[in-house]
Structures are given as structure tokens and as C-alpha cells.
Amino acid sequence: MANKILPFIALAVLAILPLLTGSTYLHHLLVLWMLYALLALSLNIIVGYLGELTFGHAAFFGIGAYAAAILGMDYGLPGLPALLFAGFIAGVFGLVIGYVALRIVGPQFAILTLGFGSIIYTVTNYWVDVTRGPMGISNIPPLSFGPEWLTFSTAQEYYYVALACVVIFAYACYALVHSRTGRAFIATRENPNLASSLGIDIFHMKLLGFVVATVVAGIGGALYAHYVKVITPELMGLQYMSALIIMVIVGGRGTIAGPIIGALIYVGLLELLRPLGAMRLVIFAALLIASVIFLPGGIVSLWRRYVEQPVLRKSATPQPDARREIAP
Amino acid sequence: MDFVVFTQQVINGLVNGMAYVLIATGLTLIFGVLRIVNFAHGEFYMLGAFFTYYVMSMLGLDYISAALIATGLTAAVGILANVLFFWPLRKEHEFTILLSSLGLALLLTNGGEVVFGADPKYVASPFSDEIVEWGDLIVTQQRLVVFAVGVVVLIALYLFIKNSSMGKMMRATAQNAEGAALTGINIRRVHAWTFALACGLAAVAGALVGPTAMIYPTVGSWAVLKGFIVVIMGGLGSIPGALVGGLALGVIESLGGGYISLGFAEAIGYAIIIIVLLWRPQGLFGTAKKA
């Protein structure tokens, strides 16, 4: 029962959060949190639901950001169409790359996506005519849906736009997991051979998940470009890519709350540890390793362990009978 | 097309390629024997270069002995990394191990930045300033040293794997780890040796290439990318694949950089991977799991 109400409480808290403070600095952090949450949720489709590790996800974020920036500046298309078009372009890249890369599974897939990500990074870095190379694109127009009053300028307004995207996408993920397609995803992740023997087309299933994830990453990138107003090829660098992976893994892969909480941890710690300089990234690396080794389910698995199933925790070795009692 | 320029590009490419071969051989060795994709492999290349620099400047040793000590130190770090990060996770899913190695890579890169500082450093080698001329072709001695040492190290590695008892144990582990353990092979020692060898190879590459370019703590991500391109091209787990793939990548990049554009030369390597994988998903010499 508690699980049914909880998302709504969380949503209410998120909705009033920026109203509690007038500090634009805190508003900025909240926007970053929501943008990263959106990206982490999209990466989570591949890492959490498809069970494949991709190192190329930041590239789609970058493609979306560049598409929105170029459409907004050179073609004067700053609003919703540009946002959707950025998602579409990222999705087209996702389709092509997924089509090639998803033929391979496991570590080789991870390496291959790293290669694709690096190609996109390299091309962005050197194709100066279009992307202005390492200088990046600056003075990107703000997100606008037409009239003056629908032009977004403050961090608070961007927060609500990003929050809306996160809520819609989180609900879509929830609905997906509970649909026939979602169960096919899980089956593919757990046992590909069994899944394919049940008539699930694994390749197309994975391609679908990959493309959806890249479209959302592209939209996230477009929002980011409009909000920050300056983008450089570094968006697609290893630094961002590892940050996204840290969020998903530390928060908890394969869940909806996990990536959102992971993004909060990342943004929060990054700011709190800012005085430490380069040392903070060492701490993040340690956090990732500790999470991988000691808490593979991420932070959200603590909730499951201590709140939902406290009985299991009391018995040192979980008895099969005890588990049956709790299961609905 | 000017023949001299062409030959010069090919020679430069072979030298760069030999460094790629050294990096990729370690990567492929760890995968072939232990089934681990070590994302942190490039960081051992970085450590090799930095250790050489610090052993030279702090202990005042000459380049060659500094490079040897740096290789030994890096191999020791490799064994330590194995004990802390890879050995405890050996029964886990490959995904977990990959993530753990990503964490190790971030730890070493950013730790390197804290310890060594972010500003680029330069390894001074007595060979860098000397030039060898054959007619119109010019090569620095350092580049010849890179190639020659690479050849010697690879032959030594080949003989070690082929003839020594540890090499045989490694091959047995590569074929069937459980079966090897059943016949009394100490898998723990095989793990340690494989990591020591692989990380030592990366360190040799770092110590050799260090004097031809600046070194900085994030250089490892460059190295691991090159290593990955080569192993994907040649086939993950195949040492001949690493040799052919590395030299080919070096030459293709060098020619691409010379005749097309220096910037896109970087992307050429990746483009090759895609073409190779569309044609042979398992790489030229390897085997891969298909979806």
C-alpha cells in the first residue's frame, strides 16, 4: 500500500522543492539534478532493463544538445519542434548504432559503444564548420514555445520543464515494465536463450529499448543546451559518461527511483566536495567501486532490504518458507 | 604520390602501431586467460610513463634502468589491483567486473591527477635527440628503440607462453579455468602472473612512448581506446590479432593523418572497427558471443 502512495508524495515534494528557497544557486542544482535524472533514467533502460553496459550514452546526450543548439541558432527553431527534432536525430543515430552494435553482447558491446561514442566525439571536435570544434557553441537561445510568456529564462522554470520530462518518462518506464513488452525486456535480460525460445525477438527487443533510450537522452541534451547556453564536445567525453554510469549503478539499476536518487547523490556530492578539487573524483570512483562490490542493487536496494522485507533481514540465512510468507 | 613521404608515413605508423600492439597484447592477454575486460588497462600505460619520469627525476637514474624499474613497479600495482578488484569478483557476472574496472580506471586517473598534478610532463630520453637517416628517410633513435624493444618483448612473451610452465598453466586456464583448477593448477597464481605480465606490457609501452609525447594523468583513456580498437579489430583474446591489428591501425592512422586530415585520422580507427565487425563480428582472429 505504502508503495502506491509513495510516488505521489515524492512528486508533491519535488513540485514544491524550488519554492522553499529563493537561492538561484540551489535552483541551478535542482535543474541539474532533474536533467541528470532524465539522462540516468534513459541509460537505465539499457543498463537496467536490457542488461547491457553502454559506454556511448553521453554521445546521444551530446547529439541532442548540438542538434538543439544548431537548430535554435542557425534555423531559429528554439521551441518544442527543436526539442522533439533533437530527440529524433539522436534516435536515428541510436537506430544505426544499435543496429550494428547490438549484434554483439557482453563486454564487446560495451567496447563497441565506446568506439561509437568516440567517433561522434571526434567528429564533433573536428567538424569545425558545423560544430565550431573544441570552442563549442555559445549564446544558445532559451527554450521558447512561441510567445514571450512561454519563453523560459529562470532556473526555476527550467526545473519544472525538466521535472515534467522526468515524471513523464518515469511513468513511461513504469508502464513499460508492467506491460507485455516490459516483461519481454526482463526475460531477455535474465535469460536470452529462454526468451528467444518463447518467441521473443531479442534483437528487435533490444533495438527498441536502445532507440527509446537514445531519443530520451537526445531530448535531455536539448534541454541542457537551452538551459546552460554553452556546449562543448566535452559533453560527450568519458567524464560525463562515467558520471551517468555512476548515477545508475550507485542509485540502483533496473529501478525507477534508483537513477533519480543516483543523480541527486551525484549532483549533491559534487557540490559538497567541490573544495576538495581533483580529490572528489577519486571519491566518486571509490563510491562506484564500493557500490559494485558491496551493494550491487544500489541505494534503493537498502529500502527493499530494511523497509519492505525486514523479516528477511532478521533471519541470518533467508529461509525459503520465510520468503513465501512475505510474498504477496 | 611522393614515395619518400609515403614510406616515412608507413615507418611512423609502424612505430605508433608497435606501441598499440604492446597495449593491446596486455588487454587481450587478460581477456584471453581470465575472461576479464580490463577498462583500467590504459591507466597502467599512464603509470608506466609517470613512474619512469619520477624514478628518473627523484632517484636520478638513467632512462633505461628507470624504465625497467617503472615496469616492475607497474606490474606490482597490477598484481595489487588484481588482489583488490578482480580476484574477489572472479565469480561475478562480467558486467560487475567491467564496472569494477571502470571504477579502478577512474580511481587511477583522478588519483594520478591528485598525486602527479594535472600539468603535462616530459620524459627525457637520451635517444630522443639522436636521428638516424637512410637516404631521405629520417627517424629518431627513440622511435627505433620503441620498435626494437617491442619486437624483443613480444618474442620473449611468445616464448614464455609457449614454453614456460606458467605459460602452459595460463594456456590451460584460458581453455578451461575450472578444468585447469581441477588438475591442480593454482588459479590464483595464474591470475597474479597474467596481471603482472599485462600491466608490465602496458608500462613498457608507456615508458617507451613517454619520451615521444607529453604525459598527463588522463593519457590512460587514450591508451585504452587504442587498445580496444586493436583488440576489437583483431579479436578479443587473440595475440596474433593484437599484433596484426596494432600495426595495421598505426599505419592506417598515419596514412590517413598524412593524406586526409589529422583530425579525422582519429575517427578512421573507429570506422575500421565498424567495417570489420559488420563483416566479422568476432574480429579478424577471434571468437565472440553473438546476440
Instruction: Please write the tens of the pLDDT for every residue from A84-113.
Output: 888 898 889 989 888 887 877 777 788 888
Give mean pLDDT, residues A220-236: 82
A289-294 average pLDDT score: 83
Give the CA count within 13 Å in the CB-facing half-sphere of B262. 0
User: CA-CA distance, B221 to A234, in Å (whole number)?
Assistant: 14
Q: How confident is the model at residue A150 (pLDDT cuts 50, 70, 90)?
A: low
* Burial class (CB within 10 angstroms; exposed 0-12, middle 13-18, buried 19+) of B121: middle
Question: What is the pLDDT averaged over residues B143-155?
Answer: 88
Q: How confident is the model at residue A316 (pLDDT cuts 50, 70, 90)?
A: very low
- Residue B102: the pLDDT is 86
Greatest mean pLDDT among A174-178, B174-178, B195-199 lies in B195-199
Distance CA B207, CA B125 (A): 10
Look at A278 and B114 and tell me if their CB atoms are within 8 Å: yes
Going A66 to A68 to A69 to A74, the CA torsion angle's sign is positive
Q: What is the pLDDT of residue A110?
A: 82
Sort out which chain A residues have CB atoms less than 8 A from B94's CB and list them: 106-107
Over residues A267-281, the mean pLDDT reads 82
A285: which 3 cell numbers?
Answer: 570512483
Q: What's phi and psi for A319, nearest 5 deg?
A: -80, 145
The amino acid present at B161, given as its one-letter code, is I
Cell numbers linked to A247: 548515477
Grid cell, residue A63, equals 547529439
Nearest CB neighbour to A293, from listed B100, B102, B111: B100
The pLDDT, as a whole number, for residue A300 is: 78
Query: Could you tell me what percent of chain B has a pLDDT over 70?
Result: 96
Residue A328 has pLDDT above 70, yes or no: no
pLDDT of A291: 83
pLDDT at A234: 80
Residue A321's pLDDT is what?
40
Q: How confident is the model at residue A261 (pLDDT cuts 50, 70, 90)?
A: confident
- pLDDT surpasses 70 at A12: yes
As a whole number, mean pLDDT of residues B53-58 equals: 87
Chain B residues 168-207 within an 8 A CB cutoff of chain A = none
pLDDT of the residue at A78: 67
A249 contacts chain B (CB < 8 A): yes
**Residues of chain A with C-beta less than 8 angstroms from the C-beta of B31:** 107
- Contact list, B95 vs chain A (CB under 8 Å): 51, 53, 106
* A155 compared with B65, residue with greater pLDDT: B65
Over range B39-63, report the average pLDDT.
88
Measured between CB atoms, does B80 come within 8 Å of chain A? no
Residue A306 Cα to chain centre, angstroms: 26
Instruction: Verify whether the Cβ–Cβ distance A107 to B228 is below 8 Å.
Output: no
Are B290 and A202 in contact (CB < 8 Å)? no
Interface contact A185, partner B, CB < 8 A: no
B103 and A107 in contact by Cβ < 8 A? no
Q: Residue B289 and residue A104: Cβ atoms within 8 Å?
A: yes
Query: 10 Å Cβ neighbour count for A199?
Result: 7
Question: Which of A71-85, A95-109, A140-154, B274-288 tops mean pLDDT?
Answer: A95-109
Of residues A108, A122, A289, nearest to B104 (C-beta): A289
Is A317 a residue whose pLDDT tops 70? no
Instruction: Map residue B35 onto helix, strand or coil.
Output: coil
Q: Model confidence over A168-191: pLDDT tens digits?
A: 888 888 888 888 877 887 887 777
Among A22-26, B117-121, B163-167, which is the least confidently predicted range?
A22-26
Q: Would you call A294 an interface residue with chain B, using a CB distance cutoff of 8 Å?
A: no
| pLDDT at residue A144 greater than cutoff 70 | no
The helix or strand, by DSSP H or E, that contains position B134, with its residue range, turns out to be strand B131-134
Give the helix/strand (H/E) hosting B42.
Answer: helix B41-59
Residue A13, C-beta contacts closer than 8 angstroms, at least 6 positions apart: none
Chain A residues whose CB is inside 8 A of the B110 CB are 278-279, 281-282, 284-285
Quote the DSSP letter at residue B284. Answer: S
- Interhelix angle for B141-163 vs B165-175, to 10°? 80
Helix axes B239-259, B3-34, angle to 10 degrees: 150
Higher per-residue pLDDT: B173 or A277: B173
**B129 CA: distance to closest CA in chain A (Å):** 31
Residue B57's pLDDT is 86
Return the residue matching grid coordinates 590464483.
B188
Q: Chain A contact for B66, CB < 8 A?
A: no
Question: Residue A322 pLDDT > 70, yes or no?
Answer: no
More confident residue, B262 or A237: A237
**Cβ pair A112:B273 closer than 8 A:** yes
**A176 grid coordinates:** 513499460
Q: A264-287: buried (b, 16+ CB within 10 Å) or exposed (e) per residue?
A: bbbbebbeeeeeeebebbbebbeb
* pLDDT, position B76: 93
Q: How far apart are the first and last CA of chain B?
A: 44
The answer to whether the Cβ–Cβ distance between B96 and A104 falls below 8 Å is no
Question: Which residues of A are less than 8 Å from B232 in CB distance?
Answer: 108, 111-112, 115
Return the higher-pLDDT residue of B255 and A146: B255
pLDDT at B287: 60
Q: What is the pLDDT of residue A237?
A: 78
Q: Do B270 and A122 touch (CB under 8 A)?
A: yes
* Interface touch A119/B288, C-beta < 8 Å: no
Nearest to B290 among A104, A110, A284 (CB): A104
Question: What is the chain A residue with the closest CA to B225?
Answer: A115
Confidence at B1, pLDDT banded by 50, 70, 90: low
What pLDDT is attached to residue A118?
A: 81
Return phi, psi of residue A104, to 5°: -110, 145
Nearest chain B CA: its distance from A93 CA (Å): 14
> Three-state SS string across chain A, please?
CHHHHHHHHHHHHHHHHHHHCCCHHHHHHHHHHHHHHHHHHHHHHHHHHHCCCCCCHHHHHHHHHHHHHHHHHHCCCCCHHHHHHHHHHHHHHHHHHHHHHCCECCHHHHHHHHHHHHHHHHHHHHCHHHHCHHHCECCCCCCECCCHHHECCCHHHHHHHHHHHHHHHHHHHHHHHCCHHHHHHHHHHHCHHHHHHCCCCHHHHHHHHHHHHHHHHHHHHHHHHHHHCCECHHHHCHHHHHHHHHHHHHHCCCCCHHHHHHHHHHHHHHHHCHHHCCHHHHHHHHHHHHHHHHCCCCCHHHHHHHHHCHHHHHCCCCCHHHHHHHCC
Q: How far is B24 from chain A (nearest CA, A)?
A: 13
What pLDDT is recorded for position B72? Answer: 93
For chain A, percent of residues with pLDDT exceeding 70: 88
